[in-house]
Amino acid sequence: MKFFSLIITISLGIFFSSLHAQPLCETLTNNSWKGEGKLMGMNAEFQMDWTLALDEKFMHLDFHNKMMIPDREPMIFKAQAYYRIANDSIVDGQWFDSRGYILPLKGTISDNELVIYWGDEKSPESGKTTYTSLENGSIKTVDYISNESGYGQFGEAIYQKHAKGED
């Protein structure tokens, strides 16, 4: 009887654990995300498209934002990045952007959060970005730049999943 109870308990545990949200990397990949938020205190629109790349060894990010500057044309920033999940929780990679910067990436990933530190002592800048999966299916990102006192926040956005090619 105890063996049967153990089998039922294990089976129910597996069933209910499969109902939980997918890990963040599975949620992000093969999806297009559009977001709204603030960048350097100004309203901004964001888009990130995540795909698996190079025989699924990397997650590829195609990113851009458009910062709304009063009385001026919007400022557009673009970037591409490759993230490799080295083991179940350690991430490394490279970032390439429209300013001509190439920044090393390192960080950690869990079921609901990706924390990426970008740049190093040789880079023109460094900071970190957090990607958090919210209960409603949205993704929240927060961007920080490294400064003398630690990190200063310069961006924040909430993204919603969109069909690829949808405006």
77-132 per-position pLDDT tens digit: 999 999 998 887 899 999 999 999 999 999 999 889 999 999 999 999 999 999 99
CA 74-38-135 angle, 5° bins: 130
pLDDT at residue 136 is higher than 60:
yes
Name the residue ranges covered by the structural domains of the chain.
22-162
Taking the mean position of all CA atoms in its chain, how far away is CA 91?
12
pLDDT greater at residue 52 or residue 11: 52
pLDDT at residue 1 is higher than 70:
no
Read off the pTM: 0.82
Contact 107, 115 (CB under 8 A): yes
pLDDT given at position 130: 97
pLDDT at residue 156 is higher than 80:
yes
Architecture (CATH level 2) of domain 22-162: Beta Barrel (2.40)
Contact 105, 94 (CB under 8 A): yes
What b-and-e string marks burial along 61-78, b requiring 16 or more CB atoms within 10 Å of the CB? bebbbbbeeeeeeeeeee
Residue-level length of the chain: 167
C-alpha to C-alpha distance for 143 and 118, rounded to whole angstroms = 10
pLDDT at residue 2 is higher than 80:
no
pLDDT given at position 72: 92
pLDDT given at position 62: 97
Residue ranges in the chain assigned as alpha helix (H) = 2-18, 24-28
What is the tens place of the pLDDT at every residue in 39-68?
A: 999 999 999 999 999 998 999 999 999 999
